[in-house]
A = this chain, B = another copy of it.
Amino acid sequence: MKVENPTSRDIADRAGVSQATVSRALRDSPLVRKETRDRIKAIARELNYFVNRNAAGLRTHQSNTIALLLFDDADDTDTRMNLFLMSLLDNIVRSAARLGYDVLLSLQQLNDDWHIEYQASHRADGLILLGYGDYVEYREKLAALANANTHFTIWGPLVKDQPGHSFGCDNENGGYQATRHLLDIGRKNIVFMGSTSWRSPEHDARYAGYVRALNEAGIQPDSRLKCSADNSEHQGSRAARELLSSGETFDAIFAGTDLIAIGAMRALRDLGVRIPEDVSVVGFDDMPLAAYVSPALTTVQQNAKMGAEGLVEGIVGLIERKPVESTLMAPRLIVRDSCGAK
């Protein structure tokens, strides 16, 4: 008595009602008598029936799907970014599922077409853009998306005049918290170690927070204590060695990422500097490794779950034409052993 690919008409025939009533019942319309509804649902379950999404989508002009465009640098050494993005991805899928949306995944290259196509082809109702660190370069493409009336939201900072919705981490605040903590435990000569490339707005913001904390404490930022290091253990290690051999006095390091911090810690230890006795170290990201290194790394944590919810609620809001506002969430300082506060 099984039907191969049952349709709502098959259910209707068995239930002795019209196909329209089946459709209503399955969508829990109060127009259908509760009793009838339940009977129809039971039959649907029995026949293993599920609404054909193509047909429903064609009718309603919706897909109940969000396309996640993950910009992937294909740079495997940058484990940090991938780990956090992966965690965001994971939480986005969960948040979206809670709101009844599926997630379509797409990995983009820098030079890819920007898949306005996803929405135009009704494969997705909106887009989430992840990992596009370099906003300037994309300004034009974002404008094209906006121009095509595409719904989209971006993981990242609030950029003035940037089209679309965005949600991100308040990196400035994170940098401030980290630096403030170091000042609070009595450190005076605090090094900032991070990327100074124009393509790293996150690091810029973290540095800005560092500067604000110093200023508040009446300390003039010293350019000799700003060390350039891209996001890798190797770069952190190199920067720390150069710093030591330069002869600068310092008693703390605020690193733009955990990887940089961990590299710096290793170099310092190898060269006989004690952590946290001689030098306090604070990182940024709270990657899994941070808790395992010795001493355990004090760091700034971004809440991936909250980030994912912000993005999903943003895009769903846009899709359902509710008012949404671009926001930054405050990160949280996780105090461990590497700064000596405990």
Q: Which residues of A contact B (CB under 8 A)?
A: 4-5, 48-55, 57-58, 63, 65, 68, 72, 76-77, 79, 82, 86, 89-90, 93-94, 97, 102-107, 116-117, 120-123, 148-149, 233, 288-289, 292
Report whether A122 and B52 are in contact in the complex, using a CB–CB cutoff of 8 Å.
yes
Contact between A104 and B103, CB atoms less than 8 A apart: yes
A53 B123 Cβ-Cβ under 8 A? yes
Return chain B residues, CB-CB under 8 Å to A72: 90
A50 touching B86, Cβ below 8 Å:
no
Give chain A's interface secondary structure class.
Answer: mixed
- Whether A102 contacts B123 by the Cβ 8 Å rule is yes
* Cβ B233 vs Cβ A79 within 8 A: no
In contact, A54 and B58 (Cβ under 8 angstroms): yes
Closest beta carbon of chain B to A327's beta carbon, Å: 25
Alpha-carbon distance between A219 and B289 when the two chains are bound, in angstroms: 38
The CA-CA distance from A127 to B283 in the complex, in Å, is 40
Chain B neighbourhood of A58, CB < 8 A: 52, 54-55, 58
Complex: how many Å from CA A288 to CA B82? 12
Docked pose: A107 CA to B98 CA in angstroms: 12
Q: Is the CB of A288 within 8 A of B79?
A: yes
Q: Shortest CB–CB separation between residue A102 and chain B, in angstroms?
A: 5
Given contact pairs A53-B54, A79-B288, enumerate 13 new A-B contacts (beta carbons under 8 Å). Answer: A48-B120, A51-B121, A52-B58, A53-B122, A54-B54, A54-B58, A55-B58, A65-B104, A86-B86, A97-B106, A103-B105, A103-B106, A104-B104
**A292 contacts across to B, CB distance below 8 A:** 233
Q: In the assembly, what is the distance between CA of A79 and CA of B4, in Å? A: 42
Q: Given the known A-B contacts A121-B50, A123-B53, are A82 and B86 also in contact in the complex, defined by CB atoms under 8 Å?
A: yes
A52 to B124, CA, bound (A): 11
A-B contacts, 14 of them at CB < 8 A, read A4-B149, A48-B116, A48-B148, A52-B58, A53-B63, A58-B58, A77-B288, A79-B288, A86-B86, A93-B106, A97-B107, A103-B104, A103-B105, A233-B292
Residues of B within 8 A of A288 (CB): 76-77, 79
